[in-house]
Amino acid sequence: MEEKPKLLLLYASQTGNAMDAAERIAREAERRSCPVSLYSIDQFDPSLLPSQRAVIFVVSTTGQGDTPDSMKVFWRFLLQRHLTQDWLEGVHHAVFGLGDSGYQKYNFVAKKLDKRLSGLGGTPIIERGLGDDQHPSGYEGSLDPWMSSLWSSLNHIYPSLFPNGVDVVPDMKLMNQSKVSVTYHVNDVASLLYSTSSGFESRALLIESARLISPARFPADKSRPQCWLKMTRNCSLTQASCGRDVRHLEFQFHSNAVGYEVGDVLEIIPSQNPDAVDAFIRRCNLDPEAFITVQLRDSSNAAAAASRVPIRLRTFVESTMDVDSASPRRYFFEAPTIYVISDIRLLHYCNYKAAYLQLATLPKVMSYFATAEHEKERLEYFASAEGRDDLYQYNQKERRSVLEVLEDFPSVQMPFEWLVQLTPPLKSRAFSISSSPVAHPNEVHLTVSVVTWTTPYKRKRSGLCSKWLAALDPQQGVFVPVWFQKGLLPVPSPSLPLILIGPGTGCAPFRGFVAERAVQSQHGPTAPILFFFGCRNKEDDFLYSDFWLLHSRDGGVLSEEKGGGFYVAFSRDQPQKVYVQHKMQEHGQKIWDLLSKGASVYVAGSSTKMPSDVMSTFEEIISKQSGVPKEAAVRWLRALEKAGRYHVEAWS
């Protein structure tokens, strides 16, 4: 067996940032002539870890300390009890985490992974690195110095990895080819796809065909929409004068019904602005009616290539390439290294040499295609270490789209292959379902806040999916492609007492909880529910006020006579701001009584300060009501978490 690559790089990404960081580390390693093998963590067999010499992990933390979906199987493997304390003896590892210090469990996944690897006998190469979204340069503010220490330490441990030394960077020239190949087809043959099916089947087939041929690594179960929902209602829950637009949306199953439960999540493929798609195509001098197939240039999977169905270029762009919403990441200015794996199954046979192909570093792609000297100089500056902070301010902070960046540099004429490779993929958006299949049969309800913000340079921006959904007219026969996913809030049994905290749109899943328990109460006894809601003003944004008040009166499931209660914090209706944690303190005795009776806690809403503030309030209530020190209350609450009775679903 031929010698395997000496440096293994594994990433666990939820939104793509960890993948970007891992690709950047790989590029820097290759510039130092260090051979690298790069994989998403779910594509690597964890049982092969002991055979490695050096492994670099790049992992994101999602939600409130949650593991990325791609890492869950890998992490469960590492937690197996039969793995001994010397299982990773001789294996050197380094961990870089991506997180946000605004969260209570900042970089929790990276910290626990690093600890577990050491506990299994692994030897840290350097201290783990922790990237912070709050840093003026984002996670790269920590990544650059961490990489510098990484190369120095690796060179000391394994000098053979760096035949030219860590400070010697070869002169890597831009290759003429991207890793993506685009094939153009004769229209008469390719158009068969458009003529053999119609309606939803046709639209689903087009979406599936576009996403299957995209190199953007869409999950296999996210290629074809699970079903189509017909919009039947779209109304505002807020007053126009309040400056916020929160919508109540209702859908009916149309193509086929999918079973879901309260607490589940609906993922939607948003439609991009047709004008923006057309502008992108014009800017890039593309033929929107051309039929294409796309594949990795060096892919050896002939069967997969043969099964690719040609699709219109415009359909491919609007279905897979986020040209008007997502900001191009740094690799748009300094392109990623090319990695091609012929067959991921080769990993399981340890045939690393066959799975690993030569890497090619491709620096400064946009500047390479720029013909205006002043644009070339600016792009080269952005791609340099000195220009990192300015690039972050120009790009990420301003949330410039791919289209906007291309329009800012009009002399850049980038081939379509490069655009496909470097444009962020069009991702589905997730929303907590605010209905109950028991109370709302054959229906799905959403509570959607239209996301708007102002950039540092005072430009008005809007969320792609929320803005699109808010503008849809049910009278026009709107159908939306979706998937149903399990959320982080498990379905409670009717006999389980509940303490719910859901300010703002955090109330969405709890509307389903309350509606379902109201139906269950008609057939037998149910446990009480305490619900704490918060908003700015009673008149402007008291979401679903009639619904909550209905169930809090006359023996409803939220009524005090049933042992529950509904309490609202209107933060701006008085001189001193009042939040949900203040209302919790007012009813601390009631909270403690329900906790003592085995209640579960559910928290949903903004991921900024709210979840940590709510947890601190619970700690204070437990300490006060039970008469124990604060430290004991903290331990009591942690035990509640471990027992699966404290759940958080938060979003930014």
- DSSP sequence for 466-481: HHHHHH--GGG--EEE
The CATH number linked to 555 is: 3.40.50.80
If one compares 575 and 104, the residue with the highest pLDDT of the two is 575
599 known member of a binding site: no
Torsion from C-alpha of 135, 138, 141, 143, nearest 10 degrees: 130
- For the chain, what is the radius of gyration of the CA atoms? 26
Q: How many CB atoms lie within 10 A of CB 147?
A: 21
350 known member of a binding site: no
pLDDT at 343: 35
DSSP conformation class of 361: -
End-to-end Cα distance, the chain: 48
Domain-embedded: residue 268? no
Domain-embedded: residue 87? yes
579 known member of a binding site: yes
Neighbour-count burial of 348, counting CB atoms closer than 10 A to its CB (0-12 exposed, 13-18 middle, 19+ buried)? exposed
42 known member of a binding site: no
If one compares 426 and 218, the residue with the highest pLDDT of the two is 426
Domain-embedded: residue 567? yes
630 known member of a binding site: no
The residue from 323, 354, 385 where one domain ends is: 354
Q: Above 60 in pLDDT, residue 10?
A: yes
What is the bridge-based pairing of β-strands 129-132 and 92-99?
Answer: parallel
Mean pLDDT of 164-189: 65
The answer to whether 365 and 420 are in contact (CB under 8 A) is no
Residue 526: pLDDT band with limits 50, 70, 90: very high
User: What is the per-residue pLDDT across 401-430, written as a single tens digit (0 to 9) for each?
Assistant: 999 999 999 999 999 998 998 888 888 889
For the chain, the average pLDDT equals 85
If one compares 6 and 26, the residue with the highest pLDDT of the two is 26
638 known member of a binding site: no
429 known member of a binding site: yes
Q: Above 70 in pLDDT, residue 86?
A: yes
Two structure tokens written together for 54: 């050096």
Mean pLDDT comparison of 58-62, 184-188, 333-337, 359-363, highest-scoring range: 58-62
Report d(CA 529, CA 374) in Å as an integer: 64
Domain-embedded: residue 126? yes
576 known member of a binding site: no
278 known member of a binding site: no
pLDDT at 254: 83
570 known member of a binding site: no
The CATH number linked to 146 is: 3.40.50.360
Domain-embedded: residue 81? yes
238 known member of a binding site: no
* Structural domain count, the chain: 2
563 known member of a binding site: no
167 known member of a binding site: no
The residue from 302, 322, 354 where one domain ends is: 354
pLDDT at 171: 43
What's the length of the chain?
Answer: 652
123 known member of a binding site: no
319 known member of a binding site: no
* 539: CB partners within 8 A, 6+ apart: 239
Domain-embedded: residue 139? yes
Mean pLDDT of 534-551: 96
Two structure tokens written together for 601: 């806690």
15 known member of a binding site: yes
Q: Tell me which residue of 540, 542, 496 sits closest to 520, measured CA to CA.
A: 496
In 487-594 the beta strands, taken as DSSP E runs, fall at 498-501, 529-535, 565-570
Two structure tokens written together for 98: 């991506």
282 known member of a binding site: no
Two structure tokens written together for 620: 């204070």
Domain-embedded: residue 638? yes
User: What is the per-residue pLDDT across 580-600, written as a single tens digit (0 to 9) for each?
Assistant: 999 999 999 999 999 999 999
Mean pLDDT of 315-332: 86
242 known member of a binding site: no
pLDDT at 335: 43
What is the bridge-based pairing of β-strands 452-454 and 565-570?
Answer: unpaired
The residue from 304, 321, 354 where one domain ends is: 354
If one compares 559 and 1, the residue with the highest pLDDT of the two is 559
18 known member of a binding site: yes
Report d(CA 261, CA 293) in Å as an integer: 38
Q: Above 80 in pLDDT, residue 492?
A: yes
Residue with tokens 């240039």: 297
pTM, full prediction: 0.82
Domain-embedded: residue 394? no
Residue 360: pLDDT band with limits 50, 70, 90: very low
66 known member of a binding site: no
The answer to whether 290 and 184 are in contact (CB under 8 A) is yes
Q: How many CB atoms lie within 10 A of CB 84?
A: 10
Q: Residue 508 belongs to what domain range?
A: 498-651
pLDDT at 209: 78
Q: How many CB atoms lie within 10 A of CB 217?
A: 11
Residue 352: pLDDT band with limits 50, 70, 90: very low
200 known member of a binding site: no
60 known member of a binding site: yes
Mean pLDDT comparison of 217-226, 328-337, 624-633, highest-scoring range: 624-633
- Contacts within 8 Å (CB) and 24+ apart, 188-193: 189/310, 190/291, 190/310, 190/311, 191/291, 193/309, 193/310, 193/311
Report d(CA 435, CA 280) in Å as an integer: 38
pLDDT at 507: 97
User: What is the per-residue pLDDT across 184-195, written as a single tens digit (0 to 9) for each?
Assistant: 987 655 555 554
432 known member of a binding site: yes
572 known member of a binding site: yes
